[in-house]
């Protein structure tokens, strides 16, 4: 089975994931966390050591578990960042902390704005675009310009798949989500570069009668074992962290898992076929 000759099926499969995801983003949007929306900040100091899990269970009983972040500091100090609380909800939280967790002293109880505002989001998007441009220049110099374009299109595919599935599953989007996207971009482009490097090596030894699609397919198959082993190693770690790492990092790890799987898929089934199609279009227009 020549992977390049059946490339339309890989494109269709990608669209079957991207289109529902984009529909979900348009209709329901993303589940922004308090880093984006702002909320309430409660800082207390307990008279004795406390367990984060006990506080999280209390927040869950009050219906705040999904929308809260807990941070501990030396001196039995606990910082709770949660959604914007009404006066009644705020009183219930303080009463619950005092009665169920232990005696404490209230250090701070404020309403805070989002830590990730519009300006920071725009800078994050600009950073990704600059990274794309620099990667395009690097690949164009080391390989060729059309391979750079194909690699960037594969990265866009990974971002759309990740954002779309995060919207469908309504995973919380916070500051860690931006870090996850940047990690996914780095992982995916590295995998793509390995395949392009093998294609370049095989092009030097290409026989005159060897079709380009067969050469690309052969190059992908030569690197397939490496690609599978690499992604499985990462997936095993991420799955372990999703199961045993706790609820706090779970959305971040699930986002990474989605992106890593998408990156491995796009590097094998999208980047090289896209380069093949772009090269054919260029040759056709030159005739």
Do 176 and 282 belong together in one domain?
yes
Residue 192: half-sphere exposure toward Cβ, Cα within 13 Å? 34
Do 242 and 106 belong together in one domain?
no
Residue 1: inside a domain? no
Residues 131 and 123: their CA atoms lie apart, in Å, by 12
Do 67 and 181 belong together in one domain?
no
Do 144 and 208 belong together in one domain?
yes
Question: Cβ(59)–Cβ(65) under 8 Å?
Answer: yes
- CA neighbor of 151 nearest in space, from 92, 182, 114, 191: 191
Residue 156: inside a domain? yes
Residues 250 and 256: their CA atoms lie apart, in Å, by 10
Do 100 and 221 belong together in one domain?
no
Which of 112, 145, 177 is the last residue before a domain boundary?
112
Which of 90, 112, 134 is the last residue before a domain boundary?
112
Residue 196: inside a domain? yes
User: What does pTM read for this prediction?
Assistant: 0.81
Residue 193: inside a domain? yes
Q: Which residues span the domain enclosing 104? A: 39-112
Residue listed under structure tokens 């809260």: 68
* The pLDDT of residue 52: 84
* The pLDDT of residue 179: 87
Do 139 and 99 belong together in one domain?
no
Q: How many domains does the chain have?
A: 2
Which of 112, 129, 157 is the last residue before a domain boundary?
112
* The pLDDT of residue 115: 63
Residues 235 and 135: their CA atoms lie apart, in Å, by 25
Do 88 and 12 belong together in one domain?
no
Do 160 and 96 belong together in one domain?
no
CATH number of the domain that 130 lies in?
1.20.1640.10
- CA neighbor of 217 nearest in space, from 270, 264, 272, 261: 272
3-state secondary structure (DSSP) of residue 108 = strand
Residue 213: inside a domain? yes
Residues 134 and 100: their CA atoms lie apart, in Å, by 54
Do 176 and 138 belong together in one domain?
yes
Crossing angle for the helix pair 7-27 and 145-168, to the nearest 10 degrees: 50
Residue 2: inside a domain? no
Do 82 and 149 belong together in one domain?
no
- pLDDT digit string (tens) for 27-81? 998 888 777 777 888 888 888 888 888 888 888 888 887 767 888 878 888 888 8
The ranges of the chain with pLDDT < 70 are 67, 115-117, 287
CATH number of the domain that 83 lies in?
3.30.70.3400
Residue 60: inside a domain? yes
Kindly provide the residue ranges of all beta strands, DSSP E only, lying in 28-147, ordered along the sequence: 31-32, 39-46, 69-73, 77-82, 104-112
DSSP state of 208: T
Do 164 and 252 belong together in one domain?
yes
Residue 131: inside a domain? yes
- 3-state SS of 149-196 is HHHHHHHHHHHHHHHHHHHHCCCEECHHHHHHHHHHHHHHHHHHHHHH
- pLDDT digit string (tens) for 143-173? 889 999 999 999 999 999 999 999 999 888 8
Do 14 and 106 belong together in one domain?
no
């Amino acid at each position: 089975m020549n992977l390049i000759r059946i490339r339309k099926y890989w494109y269709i499969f990608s669209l079957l994931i991207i289109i529902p995801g984009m529909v979900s983003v348009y209709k329901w949007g993303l589940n922004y966390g308090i880093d984006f929306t702002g909320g309430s900040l409660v800082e207390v100091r307990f008279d004795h050591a406390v367990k984060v899990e006990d506080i999280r269970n209390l927040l869950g009983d009050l219906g705040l578990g999904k929308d809260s972040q807990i941070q501990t500091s030396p001196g039995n100090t606990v910082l709770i960042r949660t959604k914007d609380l009404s006066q009644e909800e705020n009183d219930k939280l303080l009463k619950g902390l005092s009665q169920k967790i232990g005696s404490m002293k209230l250090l701070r109880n404020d309403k805070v704005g989002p830590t990730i505002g519009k300006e920071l989001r725009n800078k994050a998007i600009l950073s990704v675009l600059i990274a794309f441009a620099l990667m395009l220049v690097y690949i164009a110099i080391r390989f060729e310009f059309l391979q750079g374009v194909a690699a960037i299109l594969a990265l866009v595919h990974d971002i759309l798949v990740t954002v779309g599935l995060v919207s469908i599953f309504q995973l919380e989007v916070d500051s860690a989500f931006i870090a996850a996207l940047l990690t996914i971009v780095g992982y995916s482009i590295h995998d793509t570069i390995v395949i392009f490097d093998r294609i370049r090596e095989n092009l030097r030894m290409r026989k005159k009668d060897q079709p380009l699609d067969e050469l690309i397919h052969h190059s992908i198959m030569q690197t397939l074992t490496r690609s599978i082993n690499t992604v499985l190693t990462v997936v095993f770690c991420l799955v372990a962290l999703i199961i045993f790492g706790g609820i706090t990092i779970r959305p971040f790890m699930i986002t990474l898992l989605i992106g890593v799987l998408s990156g491995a898929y796009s590097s094998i089934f999208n980047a090289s076929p896209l380069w093949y199609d772009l090269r054919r279009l260029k040759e056709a227009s030159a005739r």
